[in-house]
Amino acid sequence: MIPAFEAVKAINAIRGDCVVVPTMTPQRYWESITQRPELDLPIFGGMGKASSVALGLALSRPDRRIVILDGDGSLLMNLGSLVTIADQQPKNLVHIVFQDGVYFSTGSQLVPGEDSTDLAGMAKSAGIEDAATFDDLEEFVNNLPNILERPGPVFVCLKVTHPPDAPPVYTGKSGDAVKRLTRTLRDR
């Protein structure tokens, strides 16, 4: 299993000028370490919608690499987005799902199929050919530069764990992030 916070730190370390769309579980960690908040579009209060929002962003800004940091419960609420992403084939989209088997942000209730769901297999079945699962941090970190450079869509499932003192749920306002990202993208 991969410590979720370590995975987030690894992504942040090499994200460059990627726009990152974090939600739910990974958002807990992302907000505390991001070094480019002007290129972040956190999705809170919209469980299941990060993949749809990020797809729209990827299609409207093909000049930018878009990285989704999603939760397994969140993705399960909008599985249709995998088919839509596969249909649109955005070359600049990387979808990273943190699979912990629980709705971590709402109290750690079990996600249906927490032990048996193959999210990368679902992505492949939906038509996303480049899909993989990692459960080892070193292997993920070694593959991450290539993952972020490959033509998309790319789907990655990370089998993650959390420390007992995980940070609280983000309490900011998504409207502020939208305004900040819009200014950043407009000015470049």
Which pair of structure tokens corresponds to residue 151?
A: 């033509």
Q: How many domains does the chain have?
A: 1
DSSP-based three-state secondary structure for 166: coil
For the domain that residue 110 is a member of, what is the CATH number? 3.40.50.970
Of 29, 35, 40, the residue nearest 13 (C-alpha): 35
Q: Report phi then psi at 88, rounded to 5.
A: -85, -25
What is the tens place of the pLDDT at every residue in 105-146?
666 667 776 677 899 999 999 999 999 999 999 999 999 999
Q: What is the pLDDT of residue 62?
A: 97
Three-state SS at 107:
coil
CA geometry: angle 2, 158, 100, nearest 5 deg: 75
Between 18 and 47, the more confident residue is: 18
Give the pLDDT confidence score for residue 185 in this predicted structure.
Answer: 74
- For the stretch 154-183, pLDDT in tens is 999 999 988 776 654 544 545 566 566 666
Q: What average pLDDT does the segment 72-79 reach?
A: 90
Least confident of 24-38, 48-62, 144-158: 24-38
Average model confidence (pLDDT) for the chain?
88
Percent of residues, the chain, with pLDDT higher than 70 = 83
Q: How far apart are CA 129 and CA 124, in angstroms?
A: 5
Over range 81-91, report the average pLDDT: 98
Whether the per-residue pLDDT at 63 is higher than 60: the answer is yes
pLDDT band with cut points at 50, 70 and 90 for residue 40: very high
Compute CA distances 128 → 64, 124, 173, whole Å: 19, 5, 32
6 band by pLDDT with thresholds 50, 70 and 90: very high
Question: Residue 25's pLDDT is what?
Answer: 79
Give the residue-averaged pLDDT of 17-46: 90
Residue 149: which domain range?
Answer: 2-186
R_g (Cα) of the chain, nearest Å: 15
